[in-house]
Chains A and B, each alone.
Chain A
Amino acid sequence: MSHDTLPRPRPAKTEERPTPPPPQRRRKHWTKRGNPVSGLGSVIWLAIVVVPIYAMLSASLTSQDKALTGNPLNPPTSPTLDNYNTVLNSGFGHLLSNTAIVAVAVVAIVLGLSVPIAYVAVRTRNRWSGLAFRLFLLGVAIPAQAVVVPLYLLIAKLNLYDSLLAVILPTAAFAMPVSVLVLVGTLRDVSEDLYEAMALDGASPQRMLFQLAIPLAKGGISTVVIFAALQAWNGFLFPLIFTQSDGPRVLTLGLFNYVSQFGVNIPALLASVVLSGIPIFAVYLVARRALVGGLMGVGGK
């Protein structure tokens, strides 16, 4: 299922069915009657989502002394960017570039490894590929918390402690199970006939992977990219435990440290939260279709 088609009405398969009332009307009718209750519910949820975000934005634009006397729900009377200046002057760029490095590296590793794995899992049927696939299914249920102590041992023994690699490698490993599942879901949809046609033309397995499977699995791949990037960008546990100095510090850990650094300067703290969310929000605006459609549509049949 291609994500591009999601928001548009799906072609009515039931069109040739003469049953009254016609499909289009029927759906409308069905949702219309639900409107009072579910419409109200969705508006309430909208408030729950928007109010904290609004309070955060408004407070981050308020000077510290005003913030303590006013209510964060009031719009700022004299908006100021001072808080953002404070944050940007306290090494925020360094945190940002570290996080970007981690995200790019994680995406590269995850993609480089899980595309071939998914391809093999779909195309070959022997004991080993089945076993490997099951291993990844199991992986979905492993909480990262549960393995940080032994990982700490491994990282220390590999001499990686307090480096960006110490964050990148485990993060990538934990992003793999979901990526493989998503990709297997998409690659399964590629018709067997297409492979056979290519095989008849004398194409090698590599060629089939690069010229057939990957182009057709674009939706799944973009989902995996965004999902892995999101995980890398937002990861907290691995940086917390595997790094300690300023050098390899990433954004989430930086935010955590701001609590003590800014103390009661809550507006500055909130400004740093806003800043940390901007890059990922920008990606979301550009790639919303791919992200949402991918998460929703993959294997959805």
Chain B
Amino acid sequence: MPGVLFFAFFAVVPMGLAFYLSFTSWDGLGDPRPVGLDNWRKLIDDDRMVQSLWLTVLLTAASWVFQTVIALLLGVWAAGRQRNRAVLSAIFFVPFLLSSTAIALLFYALLDPNFGIIRENILGSSSGAFLAIVFIGGWQFIPFHTLIYQGGARQIPEVLYQAAAIDGAGRYRQFFSITLPQLRHTVTTSTVLLVVGSLTYFETVLILTKGGPGTDTAILPYLMYEAGFKSYDFGYASAIASFLVVAATGLSLILVRLTGFGSMRSTREGM
């Protein structure tokens, strides 16, 4: 099947190639030169890498909490059927249509200390810049996850709520005893997509903070971009990239296992 080959050539082969390149030194011109474990040794010793890893984990965790809570509540709410919900849901979806670049620029303008809504240098403080990135990620992707939860919530059989009502369960009881457990596969799906997605908050960082202030928002993908396409140290960049692939795949697999869903099939079922 040519399709499989095409995909393999541009996505799977490069993954292997990234691993190979991580054992070489290459400046983007000429041919890669094998250097053994040098890049990996450098990776382990690099203070920036440690900071960056910690930052990436923190960013992912913060994004998960922010996006999952809001998307879950909005999704369940939007699964109802009144007219204003349809209209509001349509408006809620708009941020997802804009590119990350456009959104980063929009907030670049709105957070500008001379121009913006809040005339303070938010991006100049490290916690401010971090929170701004979490917020902007949520602004962009909550619509998408809301949609996933909305779809999930609509699949919950009505009968369950009827039975619960007969047993005298209140609204909150129903939410925690029926809605949440029934949505657990949806939560898995959304979480996997979210975790993999937040490993790639690259545009926002590049446009908004350039990793700053200092290196306080230099997440792993940004560090990799700097190493490769700014310092032309492609071997080292590949080591970071390989680490990223392993972390992302490992994390997705763990998440899928932990939530008791034996195969990645949930990705499809939840969508």
Q: What is the interface of chain A, defined by CB distance below 8 A to chain B?
A: 6-7, 9-10, 12, 14, 17, 19, 21, 23, 26-27, 29-31, 33-34, 38, 41-42, 45-46, 48-53, 55-56, 59, 67-68, 71-73, 109, 112-114, 116-117, 120, 132, 135-154, 169-170, 172-174, 176-177, 181-182, 184-185, 230, 233-237, 241, 251-253, 255-256, 258-259, 264, 266, 269-270, 272-273, 276-277, 280-281, 284, 288, 292, 295-301
Mostly, the A contact residues are helix
Known contacts A26-B158, A141-B192; 12 additional CB pairs below 8 A are A14-B158, A27-B161, A42-B74, A72-B116, A116-B1, A140-B196, A149-B228, A152-B228, A153-B32, A170-B11, A296-B154, A300-B155
- Chain B residue with Cβ nearest A120: B1
**For the complex, what is the distance from the CA of A147 to the CA of B73, rounded to whole Å?**
35
Question: Which A residues are in CB contact (< 8 Å) with B2?
Answer: 113
Partner of B91, one of A41, A49, A177, A273: A49
Shortest distance between the CB of A7 and any CB in chain B (Å): 6
Give residues of chain B (143-192) contacting chain A, Cβ–Cβ below 8 Å. 144, 147-148, 150-152, 154-155, 158-159, 161-162, 165-166, 171, 174, 192
Give residues of chain B (39-84) contacting chain A, Cβ–Cβ below 8 Å. 70, 73-74, 76-78, 80-82
Question: Which A residues are in CB contact (< 8 Å) with B89?
Answer: 292
Shortest distance between the CB of A226 and any CB in chain B (Å): 10
CB <8 Å contact, B18 and A72 = no
Question: Which A residues are in CB contact (< 8 Å) with B74?
Answer: 41-42, 45
**For the complex, what is the distance from the CA of A230 to the CA of B100, rounded to whole Å?**
11
Question: Which B residues are in CB contact (< 8 Å) with A258?
Answer: 105
CB <8 Å contact, B245 and A136 = no
Partner of A145, one of B26, B202, B268, B270: B202
Shortest distance between the CB of B85 and any CB in chain A (Å): 8
Given contacts A59-B109, A237-B203, contact A116 B147 (CB under 8 A): no
Sorted nearest first, the 8 A-B pairs with minimum C-beta distance are A234-B99, A173-B10, A113-B3, A296-B151, A150-B17, A147-B14, A150-B14, A145-B221
**For the complex, what is the distance from the CA of A300 to the CA of B101, rounded to whole Å?**
31
Q: What is the interface of chain B, defined by CB distance below 8 A to chain A?
A: 1-4, 6-15, 17-18, 20-21, 26, 28, 32, 70, 73-74, 76-78, 80-82, 86, 88-95, 97-102, 105-110, 112, 114-117, 139, 142, 144, 147-148, 150-152, 154-155, 158-159, 161-162, 165-166, 171, 174, 192-193, 196, 199-200, 202-203, 207, 221, 224-225, 228-229, 234, 237-238, 241-242, 244-245, 248-249, 252, 264-265, 267-271
